[in-house]
Amino acid sequence: MNIKKFAAKTLLIFTFGILLPATPVSADIYTRNKIPEKIKNQIEKIVDTPSNLDGFSSFRRKTRQERIEDNIKWYKKHFKVNQEYTRYGLDIKNYRNQDDYMTGSELKLLSVHHGNVSPLKNRKLLADKLTFDEKTRKYYPENLADVYFAFKGENIIPRKNTLIKKYKKTFSALKSLDNGTYFVKELSGLCGNNAMIINKTDNDMTFRHVTKGKITKDEFKNITGKRIFFVQKYVENHEKSKN
C-alpha cells in the first residue's frame, strides 16, 4: 500500500501500544462552542451548499472545517445563521472577510426603514430597481441612465419602462444595441453584487464581472439565469468621485 495515500486518508493515534483511529477534527467543534443541535443542522446545510463561484478557476473554496468555523463564529456574533454565506462568496479563500458583512435584518433596517419609511408599504419601491426607476424618472429623467431591457438567463422579462420591447431572447436584444459599453445589474441586488459590464462591437461581445473579472458567455448565462437582471447605459463616474 502507498504509505502517503494511507496516511492522507486515515490519521492514527498510538496510545499504550494500541492503534486507534483518530476522531475527526470537526466532530466536537459544535460541542466545544455550545452550539444547539438545531443550529448545528442549519450550519451543516449551509456548509454543504454548493458554492456560487464553482467553475471559476481563479477561486478556491475553503475547507469544510474552515467553513464550519466561519459559520460558528457568525452565529456566536449575530445569534443567527448566515443564509447568505455562499451567495456572497464568503466560502472562498482570500476573497471576502465576513466580519465586513451584516445580517439581512440589519441591512433591511438601514436600507429600507430609515426610521420613518414603512417596510411593508414601500419595500418594493426600494427593492426593485426598475420600479424605483419608473417612479423617479417622472421627476428626474435627466439624472437616470437609460434602461434597455430586463432578463433572466436567455429570456427577456417584459417591463413597461424599458426601451427595447420587441425581442424575447436576451442575446438577440444585446445584438440590437449600438456598439459601446453597457452595465448589467440585479433587479433586487445589493452592494453591487453580480454587477457586470458588457463591451459590444460589430463582431464581438465581451463580459466582465465586478469581482470575477473577465467571464465567458456561458458564465454570463449561468450567473444571470438565477435571478432577474437588467441592461443599462454605462455612465462614467465624475472625475471627483474617482479621487
pLDDT tens by residue, 116-153: 555 556 666 777 888 888 888 888 888 888 999 999 99
pLDDT at 15: 35
Q: Kindly state whether residues 162 and 236 are assigned to the same domain.
A: yes
237 in a structural domain? yes
Label the pairing between strands 155-157 and 213-215: unpaired
**Looking at residue 147, what is its pLDDT?**
92
CA distance 187 to 68: 31
Of the three residues 101, 135, 164, the one that is the final residue of a domain is 101
Residue 23: count of CB within 10 angstroms of its CB = 10
pLDDT band of 6, cuts 50, 70, 90: very low
Q: How far apart are the C-alpha atoms of 213 and 28, rounded to whole Å?
A: 39
Using alpha carbons, select from 38, 93, 41, 37 the residue that is nearest to residue 70: 93
| Residues 159, 89 within the same domain | no
User: How many domains, in total, are found in the chain?
Assistant: 2
Type of residue at 123: R
CA dist 86 and 96 (Å) reads 11
* Confidence grade of residue 225 (pLDDT, cut at 50, 70, 90): very high
| Res 79 pLDDT > 50 | yes
- Arithmetic mean of pLDDT over the chain: 81
Q: What is the mean pLDDT of residues 165-194?
A: 90
Domain end, chosen from 101, 136, 167, is at: 101
93 shares a domain with 182? no
Domain that holds residue 168: 145-242
What is the distance between the alpha carbons of residues 102 and 8, in angstroms, rounded to a whole number?
38
Same domain, 88 and 14: yes
Residue 223: inside a domain: yes
What's the rounded mean pLDDT across residues 47-57?
78
> Does the residue 206 lie in any domain?
yes
In Å, the largest CA–CA distance within the chain is 82
Domain-embedded: residue 109:
no
Rounded to an integer, what distance in angstroms lies between the CA atom of residue 129 and that of residue 209? 19
Of 85 and 11, the structure prediction assigns the larger pLDDT to 85
- Asked if residue 90 belongs to a domain, the reply is yes
pLDDT at 74: 95
pLDDT of the residue at 26: 58
pLDDT at residue 105, as a whole number: 74
Whether 201 is covered by a domain: the verdict is yes
- Looking at the fold, whether 10 and 96 belong to one and the same domain comes out as yes
Confidence (pLDDT) at 121: 62
Across the range 21-34, mean pLDDT stands at 71
Q: Is residue 127 part of a domain?
A: no
Residue of 5 and 215 predicted with greater confidence: 215
Has residue 71 got a pLDDT over 80?
A: yes
Q: How far apart are CA 241 and CA 108, in angstroms?
A: 26
pLDDT band at 199 (very low <50, low <70, confident <90, very high): very high
pLDDT at residue 171 is higher than 90: yes
Q: Domain for residue 125, yes or no?
A: no
